[in-house]
Amino acid sequence: MGSSTRVDVAIRGVRLMDAPVSRRAGAGPSDDGHVLLDGVGAAIPLNPRSPYSVDGGRLLLDGADTGMGVEAVARPRFYDLVTEDGVPYEQIARLHSAHVLATTVVQTCVRYAESERCRFCAIEESLRQGSTIAVKTPAQIAEVALAAHELDGVSQLVMTTGTSRGRDRGATHLARCVRAVREVLPDLPIQVQCEPPGDLATLSELHRAGANSIGIHVESLDDDARLRWMPGKGSVPMSEYRAAWAEAVRVFGWNQVSTYLLIGLGEDPDELVAGAEELIAMGVYPFVVPFRPLAGTLATEVDHVPAPAYEVVADVTSRVAAALRRAGMAGADQAAGCAACGACSALGCQGG
Ligand code: SF4
């Protein structure tokens, strides 16, 4: 796949308003449609003003064929099922890209007050819209995972959580959910995502429960950017993140730990790349992703921050991909999770 087109379309999005598999609001990147670009999964922002469009299964730029095939990911069959107590499966977990099942086990966040909230996050927006439920029980998640695996061939599960008030910051409920899925699907690769838990022994508990990979997402390594963009989460000192990453690598293994790094939060690109290289040296995969201006976030509604420039995203992505190749660290080698899926980043199509 042309990696420059992949980066460009990841930023500018595509005029494709009826993608059968898409996300609105929620945690992490959203407002996107899930497609296969030349057969490779990609989560692309849906943007009615994008110069990219789709016609006859081809990706067009300003009406001209880019040479790239596009196929929308089909609506999965498990979306049509409902639990015994009447909750649509679609509100419990969603299909991401072609084969990933993803769920936010607790859809509220202790940091969601306007003065504390991460300015790029819309975790409670999908709850407000009624498209999900506040807390998913372990039994509900296990039920949906089994159906998604059997009916739609889902091959990995990603579980994230809003941050809770407890010292574990939500990790204990995640562990309960992993255990429940393990009972029905002993071999399904599972990634969990959480903040550094106050007690690092919780990381071993998540691993013992059956999680194969873990994402501990810092979003930015620059303290100024962290406090500006994430007044609540940015108050967790970097030393806590470093301790949690080191312990997670010890417990889960080299390249089974990852973190998101968002391009476009004002961080110096050279420092961002140097920070990514330090993470790689620790055994942590830096999942670099362009910041997306999402509806319902403070960044969009209040700050009006645009997506980062194409040149910056292309430069940072290609330098981090080169560092990953030098270290022999590939996202595809993670058992599960965003690095393994790769749909939200252009690292994978550059061998990272
Ligand atoms: S990279 Fe992560 S957030 Fe993006 S589609 Fe894949 S699993 Fe979902």
Name the residue at shortest CA distance from atom 2 of ligand 1: 338
* Owning domain of residue 175: 77-350
Cα–Cα separations (whole angstroms), residue 249 to 110, 156, 242, 252, 260? 27, 20, 11, 5, 16
Q: Is 93 a pocket residue for ligand 1 (Cβ < 6 Å)?
A: no
Does any ligand 1 atom lie closer than 6 A to the CB of residue 308? no
DSSP string, 127-172: HHTTSS-SB--HHHHHHHHHHHHHHH---EEEEE-PPPSSTTTTHH
Q: What is the DSSP letter of 30?
A: -
101 lines ligand 1 (CB under 6 A): no
Q: Is the CB of 154 within 6 Å of ligand 1?
A: no
8 found inside a domain: no
- Whether 50 is in a domain gets the answer no
Q: Is residue 136 part of a domain?
A: yes
Distance in Å, CA 344 to ligand 1 centroid: 6
Is the CB of residue 314 below 6 angstroms from any atom belonging to ligand 1? no
Residue matched to tokens 């596009």: 70
CA of 62 to the centre of ligand 1 (A): 27
Domain assignment present for residue 301? The answer is: yes
Structural domains of the chain, count: 1
Q: Residues near 304 by Cβ (< 8 Å), separated by ≥ 6?
A: none
Tens of pLDDT, residue by residue, the chain (352 residues)? 466 888 888 888 898 756 777 777 666 667 788 999 998 899 998 888 899 999 889 999 999 999 999 998 999 999 999 998 899 999 999 999 999 999 999 999 999 999 999 999 988 988 898 999 999 999 999 999 999 999 999 999 999 999 988 888 999 999 999 999 999 999 999 999 999 998 999 999 999 999 999 999 999 999 999 999 999 999 999 999 999 999 999 999 999 999 999 999 999 999 999 999 999 999 999 999 999 888 889 999 999 999 898 889 999 999 999 999 999 999 999 999 999 999 988 898 887 8
Q: How far is the CA of 282 from the centre of ligand 1 (A)?
A: 23
The verdict on residue 224 lying in a domain is yes
Task: Tell me, in angstroms, the distance from the centre of ligand 1 to residue 215's CA.
Answer: 12
Per DSSP, the residues of 78-92 read GGG-B-TTS-BGGGT
The best mutation among 22, 156, 259, 341 to test binding of ligand 1, ranked by most ligand atoms within 8 Å of the C-beta, falls on 341
Q: Does 102 contact ligand 1 (Cβ within 6 A)?
A: yes
Question: By the 8 A CB rule, do 243 and 199 touch?
Answer: no
Any ligand 1 atom below 6 A from CB of 158: yes
Pocket test for ligand 1, best of 21, 96, 121, 291 (most atoms within 8 A of CB): 96
In a domain, 15, yes or no: no
Beta-carbon contacts of residue 244 (< 8 Å; ≥ 6 apart):
196, 197, 200, 203, 216
- Closest-CA residue, ligand 1 atom 8, reads 96
Query: DSSP assignment, residue 333?
Result: G
Q: 159: domain CATH number?
A: 3.20.20.70
Q: Which residues pair with 106 in a beta bridge?
A: 135
Residue 242, domain member (yes or no) = yes
Cβ-in-10-Å burial (0-12, 13-18, 19+) of 72 comes to middle
Residue 191 near ligand 1, beta carbon < 6 Å = no
Asked, for residue 2, whether it belongs to a domain, the answer is: no
